[in-house]
Amino acid sequence: MATEVKTELKPWYKTKLPPGKVYQLETDLDKLWDGLEDVGIGPRYIGEIRKGYWHAELGGPKHNYKSFLYAEVVNDPNEIVDGRVEVIGPELDEIPPETSLPFSLHAKLWGPELTEDHEEFAARGMFMGLMFMEGVGMIGARDTIWTRISKEVAPRLSFKKLSQSIRASVLTSAPIVEAVEVKWVLGTPEIGGVKTIESILEETKPKWEALMAKHAAIADEDVDLFYGCTLCKMIAPNHACIITPAIVPYCGVLSFYTCKAIHAIDPHGYIFELPKGETIDPIAGRFTGVDDAIYERSDHRHKIFHLHSSIKYVTTN
């Protein structure tokens, strides 16, 4: 069971922040989910929380999308404390019903084989740790994140529990991660509201923008191999996405380099390699490799796919 501890580490941001509540989660891998038995967890709980039904809303348009969720890989294991959670701001039960706040949710991750190319993969683990929880609705990614926590589940939830689910989900879905530390900052008026969150966002953004620049530096013409993803078959059985250097999928949480990193970890998982094959139509983006791979993975329903067209022969991306 998670316990509250008092420890101070090097600040993560230059932006001045008050000390938060600090919890130390159980780090025994056999007890990853212990204590979460009173909250449903799984894909069946993916959903939206409508107006009037939410206890707390974090991020989103009311705060001009100045919130963020970020998974950051660190190179030095001494930079983080596995299982440490810090909540700067009120706990969930201290927030009045129907309160909307800007926020940041930042996890630092370490593993001997972990690189920056795994950051999006780990962010997906964070995302699933929240989105799969009963009564938690999420849309967006990184600095477009928008989350709601329902009134029904709020009495059984806390930021500590949400963090435990995030950590467990990351460690389960990405076993090369060995340490996870989580920090929440709730942008209450007492700590400066959206301005404070915006200031943290500006400090953090250059790190992921550098990664995006690396991704933008290659083009489809530079590679012979694309990647595909079949994860959403669990909710859409004929669905598969194609990910190329220029094309991100529908969910927006995968890139070419991320797929490459995931496939290297789990070659028999939901990410598959896809030789590009012959180029049939470079303008529409038709390749024999894509046609063949998606035909096989779309229950033999469709034979032709155009990567660059949303009018004719669209992919399921």
In the complex, least distance from residue 242 CB atom to ligand SF4, rounded to whole angstroms: 9
Q: Which is nearer to ligand SF4, 13 or 313 (CB)?
A: 313
Place of tokens 């609705």: 137
Q: Which two tokens stand for residue 84?
A: 């440490």
Q: Which is nearer to ligand SF4, 27 or 230 (CB)?
A: 230
The whole-angstrom separation of Cα 80 and Cα 37 is 28
Chain centroid to Cα 255, Å, comes to 13
In the complex, least distance from residue 140 CB atom to ligand SF4, rounded to whole angstroms: 14
Which one, of 121, 99, 215, 209, lies nearest residue 169 by Cα?
121
Q: Which is nearer to ligand SF4, 75 or 310 (CB)?
A: 310
In the complex, least distance from residue 46 CB atom to ligand SF4, rounded to whole angstroms: 12
Q: Which two tokens stand for residue 21?
A: 């509540």
Contact 39, 161 (CB under 8 A): yes
- Those residues whose C-beta lies under 8 Å from the C-beta of residue 275, and which sit 6 or more positions away, are 224, 225, 226, 289
In the complex, least distance from residue 167 CB atom to ligand SF4, rounded to whole angstroms: 21
In the complex, least distance from residue 158 CB atom to ligand SF4, rounded to whole angstroms: 28
Buried b (16+ CB within 10 A) or exposed e, 128-165: bbbbbbbbbbbebbbbebbbbbbeebbeebbbbbbbbb
In the complex, least distance from residue 221 CB atom to ligand SF4, rounded to whole angstroms: 22
Q: Which is nearer to ligand SF4, 56 or 232 (CB)?
A: 232
Q: Which is nearer to ligand SF4, 85 or 229 (CB)?
A: 229
Q: Which is nearer to ligand SF4, 109 or 128 (CB)?
A: 128
Q: Which is nearer to ligand SF4, 23 or 227 (CB)?
A: 227
Q: Which two tokens stand for residue 195?
A: 């301005």
Q: What are phi and psi of 90, to 5 degrees?
A: -75, 150
In the complex, least distance from residue 234 CB atom to ligand SF4, rounded to whole angstroms: 9
Pairing of strands 225-229, 241-243: antiparallel
Other CB atoms within 10 A of residue 258 CB: 24
Q: Which is nearer to ligand SF4, 128 or 157 (CB)?
A: 128
Which one, of 70, 91, 256, lies nearest residue 145 by Cα?
70
In the complex, least distance from residue 189 CB atom to ligand SF4, rounded to whole angstroms: 37
Other CB atoms within 10 A of residue 7 CB: 9
Binding site for ligand SF4 (CB under 6 A): 229-232, 239, 241, 249-251, 254
